[in-house]
Amino acid sequence: MKVIGAGFGRTGTLSLRIALEELGFVRCYHMTEVMARRHDHAKLWLQRAEGKPIDWRSLFTGYEATVDFPACTYYRELMDVFPDAKVLLSVRSAESWYDSALATIYASSSEPLPVPIRWLPFARAITTAVHKAIWDRGGLFNGRFREREYAMEVFESWNQSVREFVPPERLLVFDVREGWAPLCAFLEVPVPNRPFPRVNQRWHMQMGVRVLRAVPVLSAVLLIGLLAVLIDWLR
């Protein structure tokens, strides 16, 4: 592990993941890794959210960087395990972060899982892990994320604690709007001759939330259609 992301989700972490991989830090771990290709990691994240230790080196085998939830919440542990890794604190204004997080990652995780997805053990495990570590009482936001001022205070306090805890020579506080220059200087790599990645805009995430909420309806329609075909065939 060469780069540890300490910034919350919705601070440009998916753009940052792509940028880091384009700079040669392959692969970069992000929440999407669990959902898309590392289903076996879900139980490990749940285990850690329950206060049990896990083997960080084993979890991150094959990865040179990590950003986003849930890994950012354990950046101090990761600094101990990977003492040569640099720390990247991705930031944005508290107001814009809260509005974005409320409409996207919180909205998607606070709704009950659609019935078909509930059947997937990894989906249940990672959802429970995220709630325990981030949203619920005892987590980062202690069950109070919907309280705007409180949540923004947690966000700002977290960023300040990272600034105070990480040695200055090991830390970059970075806004993705700054582009390649400060990131490449910090990581000591050449600046690419292409635009900085800009992905995962809010409307993309909101569309994903709408699709998830539509899954039970779509499943019911499909089931009714299959039953109609079966009844017709049996006549």
What amino acid occupies position 140?
A: L
Q: Give the predicted TM-score (pTM) of the model.
A: 0.84
Tens digit of pLDDT for each residue in 143-185?
999 999 999 999 999 999 999 999 999 999 999 999 999 999 9
Tens digit of pLDDT for each residue in 100-128?
999 999 988 876 655 555 567 888 899 89
Query: Do 190 and 184 contact (CB within 8 A), yes or no?
Result: yes
- Helices of type H across the chain: 13-22, 31-36, 42-49, 56-59, 75-81, 94-103, 105-110, 115-118, 121-130, 148-165, 180-187, 202-234
Selecting from 3.30.1330.10, 3.90.45.10, 3.40.50.300, 3.40.50.620, what CATH number does the domain 3-234 have? 3.40.50.300
Average pLDDT, the chain: 86
Handedness of CA 70, 72, 78, 84 (dihedral sign): positive
Average pLDDT value for residue range 14-36: 94
- pLDDT band for position 210 (50/70/90)? very low
At 120 the pLDDT is 77
Query: Do 151 and 144 contact (CB within 8 A), yes or no?
Result: yes
